[in-house]
Chains A and B, each alone.
Chain A
Amino acid sequence: MAIPFVYNLRSVTNRPVSTATTAVGIGLTVAIFIGALALAAGFRASLVTTGSPDNAIVLRKGADSEISSGVTLEQVNILKANPAVAVAPTGPPLASAEMVIVVNKERLGQKGSSNVMLRGVDAEAASLRGGITLVAGRMFTPGTDEVIVARRIAGRFAHCNVGDKLRFEQRDFTVVGQFTAKGSAFESEIWGDAAVLMPALHREGYFQTVVFRMKDPAQFDRVKKELEADPRLQVQVRRERAFYAQQSEAFTLLITVIGTFITAIMAVGAVFGAANTMYATIGARTREIAMLSVLGFGSWSIFVSFVVESVIVAVIGGLVGCVLALPMNGITSSTTNFQSFSEMAFQFRVTPQIMGQGLGFAALLGLVGGFFPALQAARQKLTRSLRA
């Protein structure tokens, strides 16, 4: 027969201090576990949302990032003329040949400098990408020395307010607007007219990528095959979303490795802590346990009951961890994505799924931590316990 669950609940609430300290110990471990997952998820999410499912991106064969790619003007024209490229109602193909260049700029309010992505785009780029919203000022006028800056980086780099001048090589560019892009990687970029930026940065006729809207996204595989087989092009064609998702892989891996390392070790510490508390609890309740045996509860029932008690404490800890980790949601952090060699801002994302994983992790800690103490409780000799 099983020992009523209420017994464990009462026991837990009976010793609030020791329950609380164990729970908080486990809670902090869970909070860090959730934090690492939230960081990786946030970083991934901002790169995945960068791509649109209807778009394809063209890079030079062998290139593994936008900055290492190169496409000539001639190739751009061949690509834009392809019938697979969707056409805007006004006539021009929905494609953007882009110059992507990393510029080193001074940080704001922090020592040193960091790299920012400067993207020279076609007029179609904003409508092609979607989700680009101007939150201050206006769009740059094609053909002029004007740029727009992502709202998120305006706080991190100098001279990014509307009306400020940004200097690239020998030319000053005026910031005329700030934009958001639904949290995507574009929110860490500066955009301007490719036709103006390229000569200013000595990049005439040398684009990095071509992005185009597919007339029929279902035909992607056929289009890819056709373009990659064209001997004039020497390119690779990828789905935009898949490409950006892949750009997050190296960093996500690094965070996952470091996060796993930290949580694994902390988990060991938390398990020791939980085991310690359970041993103390059981030690203090020797007579109580003996009473349970006398009442007719078998060793198995006693074992299960104490494991359950340990799991209860751990899950309370898990909840504490979730509460501790929740404020992390939405915090903006930034680091360099070495794939693009430029700084990228992203938000911690504490999703319900991640919190669920955190709770599961806590329960596991409780299970492992409670196992041996419960075993000891179950094996107690009745005669000796009653005498104690």
Chain B
Amino acid sequence: MLKLVIVNLFRNPLRTFLTMASVTVALFLFCALGGILDTLQESIKVGSESRLVTRNKISLVQWIPMAYRQRIEAVPGVKRVAIQNWFGAQDPADTKGFFAQFAVDDPWYGVYGKDYELVDATPSSAPADIPEGADPRLASYFQEQTACVVGQKLMEKKGWKLGQTINLAGTIYPGTWPFTIRAVYHAKKKSFGDETMFFHYKYLNEKGMGGFGAVGTYVLELNDPSQASAITHAVDSQFENAAPATLTETEQAFQAGFVSMYGNIPFVLRVIGLAIVFSILLIAANTMMTSIRERTSEFGVLKTLGFTDGAVFRMVVIEAAVITLGGGLLGSLGARALVTGASVPGGFFPPMSIYWGTVLTGIAIAVVIGAVSGLVPAVQASRLRIVDALRRVE
């Protein structure tokens, strides 16, 4: 019987191809859209549970004073505190090509030491103090106030070279800012991103704020992650009645806040995904029906030869399932292979990722579509009376 199914698949190869191709395309799209949702999930993962983020309670855009640092460091259980400050400058040659820049202090490279690795760095002429956990090759960066560390992908995109001096135009901190690229990193944790630039907070503070010492966020490294909620409380209660008050949360919750900012866009994507699934269901069902209708007399012959109604039913359903499953596998796996790692316009996303769960859902959908689209013609074919079928021979 399997042989019959295969023969039937090739009776009209063009139609089989077109149906399979439309299923492939639809599932490719379904998985790619699911991938956007997965990417949002993935962006939460940069947040380690052993790190906390302290920001101004009003909102992330507001600063907190440099003076808070020592008081946060003094909280028992806090191992290290690092500064991370949004810079928001533009490349004057390409004002539309957004990329993120952060001003960070030296301990920051130790706190995030496990999330990135250096691929290239200018050799240092003199020894420097390296924070615990940071790559010693950052020495030349640490010794130069205007040095910066740039992500590998950003380097390629912009065509920058190690050692090159680049000029950025500040939007929040006005003026022209020269930076010298002293190291290139690659993200070990995908969600860390390869398209960011990091530079000295000290440089920002002196040139951009006249030493005022406004800080965007503090990143807190903990000795024991299980203490997180107690430490969160201890930090925030210190500044409860201070101006400004702070809000401390795990880095994961902090990242989740960004995802929540997209509002109901993820919901819109989900609706689109469903619409796509429904439209291929129609296409596949339509094709199966035409193809079965054409073969009415053949089924009559099969039944005359002794094939049971059940066998005919199974044959049609399997044929449909093979077409859609083939398309489903191609589309879902193709999406994972092609879309993964692509960068998303807008600059705030980490590179695209598609979870296996999404791929499996896609394949499962393909199987269901096959079964459903095959069902109606299969029932028709199995209920066919031999006399009726053969009478229709033209």
Contacts and interface: CB of A to CB of B under 8 A. Distances in A.
A284 interface: yes
A29 to B, nearest CB: 7
Contacts of A279: 14-15, 18
Contacts of B164: none
A36 B247 CA distance: 37
B264 A333 contact: yes
5 contacts: A62-B169, A62-B171, A101-B59, A277-B290, A334-B263
B107 interface: no
A353 B117 CA distance: 51
A82 interface: no
B259 to A, nearest CB: 8
A272 B283 contact: yes
Given A61-B174, A202-B244, A266 B279 contact: yes
Contacts of B318: none
A68 interface: yes
Q: Chain A CB within 10 Å — which of B26, B175, B263, B291 has the most?
A: B263
Interface of A: 17-18, 21-22, 24-25, 28-29, 31-32, 35, 39, 60-65, 67-68, 101-104, 107, 111-115, 168-170, 201-202, 234, 250-251, 253-254, 257-258, 261-262, 265-266, 268-270, 272-273, 275-277, 279-280, 283-284, 333-336, 338, 341, 343
B27 to A, nearest CB: 10
B268 interface: yes
Interface in B239-292: 241, 243-245, 247, 256-257, 260-265, 268, 272, 275-276, 278-280, 282-283, 285-287, 289-291
Q: Chain B CB within 10 Å — which of A39, A65, A270 has the most?
A: A270
The 6 closest A-B pairs by CB, nearest first: A112-B260, A273-B283, A336-B261, A272-B22, A28-B279, A21-B286
B33 interface: yes
Contact of A338 (B62, B263, B275, B348): B348
A201 B170 CA distance: 24
A303 to B, nearest CB: 18
B263 A269 contact: no
Given A168-B58, A276-B15, A343 B171 contact: no
B260 A28 contact: no
B262 A335 contact: yes
A18 B279 contact: no
Nearest to A251: B346
Given A68-B171, A272-B25, A284-B294, A114 B286 contact: no
A169 B22 contact: no
A326 B264 CA distance: 19
Nearest to A376: B14
Given A276-B283, A333-B268, A335-B264, A253 B18 contact: no
B60 interface: yes
A250 B265 CA distance: 15
Given A32-B272, A170-B243, A280 B287 contact: yes
Q: Chain B CB within 10 Å — which of A202, A257, A280 has the most?
A: A280
Nearest to B89: A62
A262 B282 contact: no
Nearest to A39: B268
Contacts of A251: 346
A28 B276 contact: yes
Given A25-B283, A169-B243, A343-B263, A272 B18 contact: yes
B302 interface: no
Given A62-B169, A68-B171, A250-B346, A17 B279 contact: no
A201 B58 contact: yes
A266 B88 contact: no
Given A115-B60, A276-B19, 17 more contacts: A28-B275, A68-B172, A102-B62, A168-B58, A169-B58, A250-B98, A254-B346, A257-B345, A265-B28, A265-B29, A266-B276, A269-B22, A269-B29, A272-B18, A273-B18, A341-B60, A341-B61
B217 interface: no
A101 B61 contact: yes
B90 interface: yes
Nearest to A202: B243
B162 interface: no
B21 interface: yes
A273 B23 CA distance: 10
A269 B61 contact: no
B9 to A, nearest CB: 15
B263 A265 contact: no
Q: Chain B CB within 10 Å — which of A21, A169, A275 has the most?
A: A21
Contacts of A107: 260
B26 A266 contact: yes
A266 B260 contact: no
B279 to A, nearest CB: 4
A31 to B, nearest CB: 7
Interface of B: 14-15, 18-19, 21-22, 25-26, 28-29, 32-33, 36, 57-62, 88, 90, 98, 169-172, 174-175, 241, 243-245, 247, 256-257, 260-265, 268, 272, 275-276, 278-280, 282-283, 285-287, 289-291, 294, 345-346, 348
A340 to B, nearest CB: 10
A338 B346 contact: yes
Nearest to B286: A21
Contacts of B33: 262
B284 to A, nearest CB: 9
Nearest to B88: A68
Given A250-B98, A280-B15, A273 B22 contact: yes
B258 to A, nearest CB: 8
A358 to B, nearest CB: 14
A25 B284 CA distance: 10
B5 to A, nearest CB: 19
B279 A103 contact: no
Q: Chain B CB within 10 Å — which of A22, A107, A113, A262 has the most?
A: A262
A118 B171 CA distance: 20
A115 B21 contact: no
A245 B245 CA distance: 35
Contacts of A170: 241, 243, 245
A250 B98 CA distance: 9
Contacts of A250: 98, 346
Contacts of B174: 60-63, 234
Nearest to A105: B59
A62 B294 contact: no
Nearest to A254: B346
A1 B62 CA distance: 75
A170 B239 CA distance: 12
B171 A336 contact: no
Contacts of A202: 243-244
Given A202-B244, A334-B263, A336-B262, A103 B26 contact: no
Given A284-B294, A341-B61, A269 B25 contact: yes
A269 B265 contact: no
A276 B22 contact: yes
Given A63-B172, A103-B58, A277 B268 contact: no
Q: Chain A CB within 10 Å — which of B36, B59, B170, B262 has the most?
A: B59
